Structure formats: structure tokens, C-alpha cells
Structure 1
């Protein structure tokens, strides 16, 4: 899982004074890099769900308070570990809190805008290739997406089959990322952002909210019970 490790993380700026729990003689950059390496190992070995900041601190040989000094929470640490090019876990709640008839378009535009730079495109392609070809990476990325993104979307949209609808929306987004930035299939790879948003937005809108832009709010159809 070398592609998703953080061994080459550049040093962070030195905070004033010696942070609590930092190994004696180490710098802020050394401590942060040590934590990131420990996190990469912990996530790979135990998965995202079973890993904890306390366990990562223990593996790194630092006080848990030092982990919190550099990283807000486990989500933040995981994203840093894989050098995530964007943070859907942070943005989705805001999108769902906005106008309900613009949710699908907002999600599509957010993804395409965040991946506009060549650096972001290269990173997301590397993350997906690694996740597809490496079982530990697949597991931890799946667990992160399910817990921190899909579950939050399902809670936000509510209604019948919310988990399924959130997962279907995610499948559309991942499919777009794969075809546009990894496989580079034309004409998707070179299509203007506005055109892709106009075409994909209504599909995401239907999955997430259950109605198309301009239509009255109505619940998503329930699947027949088996």
C-alpha cells in the first residue's frame, strides 16, 4: 500500500514551544510524519472503522494529545494519510442544507471543480487505482466512504431507502471520476464542466432527493419487498 502511505509528508511548521507528548529531540515535522506513518499502518492493518486515534498514537509512540494537536479528528487524519484531493465528508452536509432542488447539481459541480487541477486529477487517479488493486486499501477507503460520506448523506436526505439512494448517487460520482480522470474516455474526458453538471445533476438529484429540479417534492419510490 505504498502509494497511500505518508512517508514523504513534508515537514509542518514548528509550533511555539515543545508540543505535549512529542518524543524528546524530535521536531514538529518529524512528529507529524511519524503520526502519519503510524496512521497509514494502522488503517491498512485494522481498517478505518476499527482504527482509533489512541491506537495510532500508541503505534507512533506519542501522547494522544499530540495527534489532536496536528489533526482535528480521525477523518482529518485519514484524508491526510492518503493525501485526499478533496473532502466530501466536509462539504456534503452543507450541500444538503442548501436548496433541495439544487442538491444534484451542487454535488456534481463540487466534484468537478475540486478535480479541475492536474495535481488533483493525478492524486484521485492514484487513490482509485490503489484502492482497486490492493485489498487493505480497498477496505479502508470503503469504510471511510460508507461511514463518513454515504451514511451522512443518507441521514441528510432521509426518506425510504436512503442508504441505497446515497450509494447509487456515489456510484454515479465514482463512475464519472473513473471515466473522466482515470480511463480518460472521450468525450467525457474533455467535456465542459457545465455540460457534465447539466447532464449528471438531475440523475444525482433523483437518487439523493427523489425528485428532479423544478418538480414538486415527492418521496422516492420504494423497492418491492421480497
Structure 2
């Protein structure tokens, strides 16, 4: 009997790994669902791979560690928020309202809310998840916003605006404090927008 050649290390064979067109997207979608359902601590590379129908080695091949998979899932979940600098480029008049409407519009969308809630919950309960979330928000979101502000201490202003929006999101969608949890979103925007306007534009 002819001996089989030793298996090469690295990416698993296509037939056993479930690799092929769309494999990366399936893994990412499965990761978002796993983190949403189980949180960062209980989600695992093996569970994500099983949900995606691939070998765990393929998850590592595309994303690396669980921390890196979580980072990729955060990026996809917050992808609509990446257009926030466009809101600022439209001018400073009523920028607070435009920013609030954009941000809370993402949270009000049932298609993205579950993943965003999972991200915040994981960041509250796990130091690694918190570090990933903090790094993403600071590097990818706030620094881009700050770069468009013509005011003193733009990064600090952007962080204050983010703290206002994330705080409201935490109480409304995660902790579900009443009456905030069931308040009309237009009422929330009307009250939050002037504060954002002051943070981002007042000299």
C-alpha cells in the first residue's frame, strides 16, 4: 500500500473545510450570530465554524484569533456608522440632529440591533472584548469624526458626543430603562441633538 503524503499545515483542504465562494462571508455572518446569541465569553471558534459549515482551521485562516473574529464582527455591525463623517461634511448647521438621526437609525433597525446589543454586552463583561470595542471606536470612528471638526480639542469633543449616544443606546436597547426604552425615537433625537450640536460646534 502506498503511503499517503503528509498533510500540509495551514489552510485546510477545500473538500473538508467547506471552503469555496462565500466562505468568508458565511463565517463572518455566523460569528455575528454566535456573538449575538452567546456573547464573547461563550462564543467559540469551533461553534462559529460549525454554524458556518466550515473547518475551524478556515476560521483561523481568514480571521486569526477569536479576538480578531470579534473585531471583524464589530466592523460589520458598525459599518453603517462609518458614514458619520459624511454627516459632518454636510456642514455644521443641524449637525447634531443629523448625527443623532444617523446613529439611532442604525439601532432602530431590527436587522442590525441584535448584533450591536451583543457588542455592547460583551464589551461590558469581558476585558478583551472591551479593548477591541474601544480600539475600533477610537481608531475607526472617533478619529474620523474629529478630523472633520474645526473646533478646539476635536478628539475630546468627538468622545463626548460618542459618550452621549452610546450612553443612551445602552440604557434604551441593552438595559431597557423605562421610559427611555419605549420612548418615541423622534422625542429622543429632539432632546439629544442640541447636546451633540454643542459638543461638536461651540468654540
TM-score using structure 2 length = 0.67
**Aligned residue pairs, count:** 160
Within-5 A mapping of 1:161-176: 161-176=153-168
Does 1:122 find its partner at 2:114?
Answer: yes
Within-5 A mapping of 1:133-144: 133-144=125-136
Give the counterpart of 2:186 among 186, 194, 203.
194
Does 1:27 find its partner at 2:28?
Answer: no
In structure 2, list runs of 5 or more residues that go unmatched: 1-10, 32-39, 41-57, 64-68
Residue equivalent to 2:93: 101
| CA-to-aligned-CA distance 1:173-198 (integer Å, 9 cap, x gap) | 11010111011111111111211111
Please say if residues 146 and 158 of structure 2, whose CA atoms lie closer than 8 Å, have aligned partners that are also in contact: yes
In structure 1, list runs of 5 or more residues that go unmatched: 1-20, 39-43, 45-56, 63-76, 211-218, 220-226
Residue equivalent to 2:195: 203
Please say if residues 81 and 102 of structure 2, whose CA atoms lie closer than 8 Å, have aligned partners that are also in contact: no
Tell me whether 113-122 or 200-209 shows the greater mean CA deviation.
113-122
Runs of 4+ residues deviating >4 angstroms? 21-25, 31-38, 77-80
- Structure 1 residues 32 and 193: CA distance shift in structure 2, 3 A: closer
What is the RMSD of the two structures over their aligned residues, measured on CA atoms? 3.2
- Structure 1 residues 150 and 121: CA distance shift in structure 2, 3 A: same
